[in-house]
Amino acid sequence: MDLIVKQVTKIVFPFMVLYGFYIALHGHLTPGGGFAAGAIIGSAFALLVIAFDEQDVEHKLTVHELIDLKSVAGFFMILIIGKMGYSFRAVLIESQTLFNLWSGGFTIIMNVAGTFMVSSAIVLIIYSIEKEAWKK
Amino acid sequence: MKAVQHNSFKDQKVIVIGLLAVFASVLFYSVSGLHVFGVIEKGSVSEQYLLEGSNLTGSTNIVNSIVWDLRGFDTMGEEIVFFTAALGVALATRRMVPKKKKKVKVKV
A135 touches chain B (CB under 8 A): yes
Which of A30-34, A96-100, B98-102 has the highest average model confidence (pLDDT)?
Answer: A30-34
pLDDT of residue A37: 92
pLDDT in tens, A88-103: 777 777 777 777 778 8
Interface test with B, best of A128, A134, A135 (most B CBs within 10 A): A128
Contact B75 A124 (CB under 8 A): no
Q: Does the pLDDT value for residue A66 go beyond 90?
A: no
> Which is more confidently placed, A134 or A41?
A41
Contact A107 B89 (CB under 8 A): no
d(CA A13, CA B19): 55
Q: Which domain holds residue A44?
A: 3-135
Q: How large is the ipTM?
A: 0.73
Quote the number of domains for chain A: 1
Contact (CB, 8 A) for A70 and A54: no
> Which is more confidently placed, A57 or B108?
B108
Quickly list H helices, B33-71. 45-57, 62-65
> Which is more confidently placed, A83 or A15?
A15
What is the average pLDDT value for chain A, to the nearest integer?
A: 79
pLDDT of residue A96: 77
pLDDT of residue B20: 96
Cβ contacts (< 8 Å) between B90 and chain A: which residues?
A: 63, 67, 124-125, 128
pLDDT of residue B17: 93
Please write down the HEC assignment for all residues of A9-34: HHHHHHHHHHHHHHHHHCCCCCCCCH
Cβ contacts (< 8 Å) between A118 and chain B: which residues?
A: 79, 82
pLDDT in tens, B36-54: 887 877 878 888 888 888 8
